[in-house]
A and B are shown apart, each in its own frame.
Chain A
Amino acid sequence: AQSVTQLDSQVPVFEEAPVELRCNYSSSVSVYLFWYVQYPNQGLQLLLKYLSGSTLVESINGFEAEFNKSQTSFHLRKPSVHISDTAEYFCAVSDSSGYSTLTFGKGTMLLVSP
């Protein structure tokens, strides 16, 4: 069985500051990792994913995440956040052992203030 831990339920940050949202996973087999973003009163949007290859993956809006197998982590980073980045961020994992359903972390609310 796999699991995902997002230790920070809420991360407040000022606009233009850097941010890191932490995600750790647990699995006995190979994993695929995802970050989804949920803006207020909306559905989930895929932000970025790691399937294989380069351990550093980037999104089109400036976020990046690095897969670290030894630390079982997939932290999300952005060097300079905007007010519009305020949202709930979910880390999710699926593994290679069966159906590709997702196991989600509890989510981290990123609050960007002026």
Chain B
Amino acid sequence: DTEVTQTPKHLVMGMTNKKSLKCEQHMGHRAMYWYKQKAKKPPELMFVYSYEKLSINESVPSRFSPECPNSSLLNLHLHALQPEDSALYLCASSQVISSSGNTIYFGEGSWLTVV
């Protein structure tokens, strides 16, 4: 079972709203990722958690706040977003983050529209 589950699938929010995207995996993976994908573009890495600790933050604005409550869950808290933040947000996981070619598995994504 190589499944990463993301909720909600679609989210429309105003620029003053606070919302969260959720991600869950039950593969025993200890590395979890958030990627952002704009239309017709490749995914861009935002954050990486390794053993529930934030390991990589790719200079993402503070209006995006990640959280890893436990080894199976990853959240992305959204606050005061801009219309240009509208995109597909992809969660992913892999066994570990070490440099041994671990395969990264992606969820179906959450489509975010900021109005």
Flag A77-114 by CB within 8 Å of B: 1 or 0 each: 00000000000001000111111111011110000000
The number of residue pairs between A and B whose CB atoms lie closer than 8 Å in the complex comes to 68
Closest to B96 in A: A100
Residues from chain B with a CB closer than 8 A to the CB of A49 are 101, 103
Size of A's binding interface in residues, CB under 8 A:
25
Flag B33-75 by CB within 8 Å of A: 1 or 0 each: 1000000111101001000000110000000000000000000
Size of B's binding interface in residues, CB under 8 A:
29
Q: Determine if A34 is an interface residue (Cβ-Cβ < 8 Å).
A: yes
A100 touches B100 (CB 8 A): yes
- Which residue numbers of A lie inside 8 Å of B, CB to CB? 32, 34, 36, 42-46, 49, 51-52, 90, 94-102, 104-107
Would you list 15 pairs from A and B whose C-beta atoms are within 8 A, ordered by A residue?
Answer: A34-B104, A36-B106, A42-B109, A43-B90, A46-B103, A52-B101, A95-B99, A96-B100, A97-B99, A99-B48, A99-B55, A99-B98, A100-B96, A102-B43, A107-B41
